[in-house]
A and B are shown apart, each in its own frame.
Chain A
Amino acid sequence: MQILANIVVLTSLYALVASGYVLVYKVSRVLNLAHGELMILGAYLLVATSAGIASDPLVAIALTAMFSIVVGLSVYLLLMRKMTGQPVLAAVLTTVALGILLRGAMVLIWGPQQLNVGAMISFDNASIALTDSVRVSTAALWLVVCTFLVYLGLLAFLHMSRWGMRMRASGQNALLAAQRGINLHTVYALAWTLSTFSGSLAGVLVTLDSRIDVNMAVIGLKAFPAALVGGLDSLPGALIGAGVIAALEVLLIHYVNPLLSDVVPFLVLIAILIVRPWGLYGTKEELNRV
């Protein structure tokens, strides 16, 4: 049973991070390879907020969420906006550069050592007993709840609100969207903002559960196979992809060798790229990926 709980928690983490990849890819066909760094930036923002502005954990987290929205919006307006209408490869390479820049900047500002964010905002990460034999940490429980709410919110937004529909429409045919008067810049800015918000949320929650250092951006890279297994442009697909990767990872760590944990997602990635390159639920014709 403990294994099942671990799978659910890890699925939530991968799914929450993967939703960021999916949002940006679905709407603008750009693969955001800086997503892992943006995610950790969210966690460092919490460090900054708790140190400088608010000491109450909830206030600090709320402020961090607001800052992450500002970060997402600035990334689009200052950087990716110029890439609209350029070849997708240029945009993807820009995100690679952005990731490297962010990584360097974070080391310069917060240093290379590990920080204990939970202690800084006096967050009590007590272990909660769900049943006699199953225990999860408070942060992990929050992670599961937040992932559920974020997916529910995103799916409702994409399918029921007019701007959500416009995001789906622009992803399908950007030219036609422009010809129907939809402002592509607004749509893309919205996608980047939502993506950075969910990424930062994941960053905050995962660092509350452990400690934070820049190398945790690799979680972003490990969640990418989850997005791709499900199909890069499908949110439900990302959820299922995250489940597949998380289950395999937890089971292999438990029954075979803990050292496999970093390898499993990429083995699955290669397998799915060979068998079904558009993913389990992706759009089949979208194969001109970078």
Chain B
Amino acid sequence: MTDILEVTDLEVTYQRSIRALHGVNLRVAKGQITALLGANGAGKSTTLRAISGFIGLDNARVTAGNVRYLGEDITGLQLPKTIHKGIVLVPERDKVFTNLTVAENLEVVSTTRAEGSNWRQIEEEIFVCFPRLAKLRNKPAGLLSGGERQMLAIGSALVCKPNLLLIDELSLGLAPVIVDEIIERLRDIHARTDLSILLVEQSAAVAFALASYGFVLENGKVELEGATQDLRTNQKILELYLGTGSAGRADYLANARRRREERANV
């Protein structure tokens, strides 16, 4: 299987001094969904931003390593060139234009002239993917719920005609029932197209539900990788990202009690 994206020893520095990534290595197989797991501040978002291209406002720079996309070196390529290559990001926060309606949010996306005149059809395709959006088409995006915003954000990213879709925090802050619906929709889209997806998640459950391969990022480095069925049973993952259920909590309480007793004995 060929890789659509290959990231080697990637280092990113913010404001010329703050190093956020310390040599990240990861690959995304063509047509597959790959997950990037990690806690807050592990460098997941920075990795996605580095792949999709910074703009001047970010004050960030790739200082070492490289990013290869379809065999071509695209390290440090800036927006909007990465979009023209087919790499599109769904950002974590501020993912829709709140002052524009749902339909306008889809329409502002940069398209070629031919696609622009074919606009109705593109809009319909997105509404087929996310039927819920069709009913909201004239509503300002600022009034949408978190789940609807996520759908709109993915929809407007799809208008860019991506080969590689980067999704930053698919499930963060959303109700479980909405997350299930979005997962279902993404599976549909993935099944119908040859889209490759790199998914950043804090929830291992969501990542395992969608992805076939996963990387675990910690302190700006990939600590662990593997097929998701292997990761699912990995003890370290269980501890770090899934919690170990009631048994684990009992352990924690026991540990806390033991520590308190030890302190009392001293």
Chain A contacts to B: CB under 8 angstroms: 84-85, 162, 165-166, 168-169, 172-184, 283
A181 pairs with B95, CB closer than 8 A: no
A85, A175, A180, A181, most chain B CB atoms within 10 A: A180
Listed by A's residue number, 8 A-B pairs whose Cβ atoms lie within 8 Å are A84-B56, A85-B56, A173-B97, A180-B83, A180-B109, A180-B157, A181-B80, A283-B99
With beta carbons under 8 angstroms apart, the residue of A85, A172, A174, A181 that contacts B109 is A181
In the bound complex, residues from chain B placing their C-beta under 8 Å from that of A182 are 80, 108-110
A183 pairs with B91, CB closer than 8 A: no
Known: A176-B91, A179-B79, A179-B91. A165 touches B55 (CB 8 A): no
B97 pairs with A172, CB closer than 8 A: yes
A172 pairs with B80, CB closer than 8 A: no
B41 to chain A minimum Cβ distance, whole angstroms, is: 20
Chain A residue at minimal CB-CB distance from B58: A175
B108 pairs with A172, CB closer than 8 A: no
Known: A85-B57, A162-B116, A181-B160. A176 touches B80 (CB 8 A): no
In the bound complex, residues from chain A placing their C-beta under 8 Å from that of B98 are 172
In the bound complex, residues from chain B placing their C-beta under 8 Å from that of A179 are 52, 79, 83, 88-89, 91
B55 pairs with A180, CB closer than 8 A: no
In the bound complex, residues from chain B placing their C-beta under 8 Å from that of A178 are 55, 79-80
Q: B183 at interface (Cβ–Cβ under 8 A)?
A: no
Chain B residue at minimal CB-CB distance from A186: B110
Chain B residue at minimal CB-CB distance from A173: B94
With beta carbons under 8 angstroms apart, the residue of A85, A180, A184 that contacts B156 is A180
A176 pairs with B57, CB closer than 8 A: no
In the bound complex, residues from chain B placing their C-beta under 8 Å from that of A168 are 97, 99-100
B84 pairs with A181, CB closer than 8 A: yes
Binary CB contact string for chain B from 77 to 96 against chain A (1 if under 8 A, 0 otherwise): 00110011000110100111
With beta carbons under 8 angstroms apart, the residue of B91, B94, B105, B108 that contacts A162 is B108
In the bound complex, residues from chain B placing their C-beta under 8 Å from that of A85 are 55-57
B110 pairs with A176, CB closer than 8 A: no
Binary CB contact string for chain B from 95 to 137 against chain A (1 if under 8 A, 0 otherwise): 1111110001101111000001000000000000000000000
With beta carbons under 8 angstroms apart, the residue of A84, A173, A181 that contacts B110 is A181
A175 pairs with B57, CB closer than 8 A: yes
B57, B108, B110, most chain A CB atoms within 10 A: B108
Q: In chain B, residues 16-63, which have Cβ atoms closer than 8 Å to a Cβ of chain A?
A: 52, 55-58
In the bound complex, residues from chain A placing their C-beta under 8 Å from that of B108 are 162, 165-166, 169, 177, 180, 182
Chain B residue at minimal CB-CB distance from A85: B56
Give A177 to B57 CA distance when docked, in angstroms: 12
Give A181 to B111 CA distance when docked, in angstroms: 8
Chain A residue at minimal CB-CB distance from B161: A181
B52 pairs with A183, CB closer than 8 A: no
With beta carbons under 8 angstroms apart, the residue of A84, A169, A183, A184 that contacts B100 is A169
A259 to chain B minimum Cβ distance, whole angstroms, is: 42
A172 pairs with B160, CB closer than 8 A: no
Chain B residue at minimal CB-CB distance from A179: B89
A175 pairs with B55, CB closer than 8 A: yes
With beta carbons under 8 angstroms apart, the residue of B94, B99, B110, B160 that contacts A183 is B110
Known: A165-B108, A169-B108. A176 touches B55 (CB 8 A): no
In the bound complex, residues from chain A placing their C-beta under 8 Å from that of B52 are 179
In the bound complex, residues from chain A placing their C-beta under 8 Å from that of B96 are 176
B193 to chain A minimum Cβ distance, whole angstroms, is: 19
In the bound complex, residues from chain B placing their C-beta under 8 Å from that of A84 are 56
In the bound complex, residues from chain B placing their C-beta under 8 Å from that of A165 are 100, 104, 107-108
In the bound complex, residues from chain B placing their C-beta under 8 Å from that of A283 are 99
In the bound complex, residues from chain A placing their C-beta under 8 Å from that of B80 are 178, 181-183
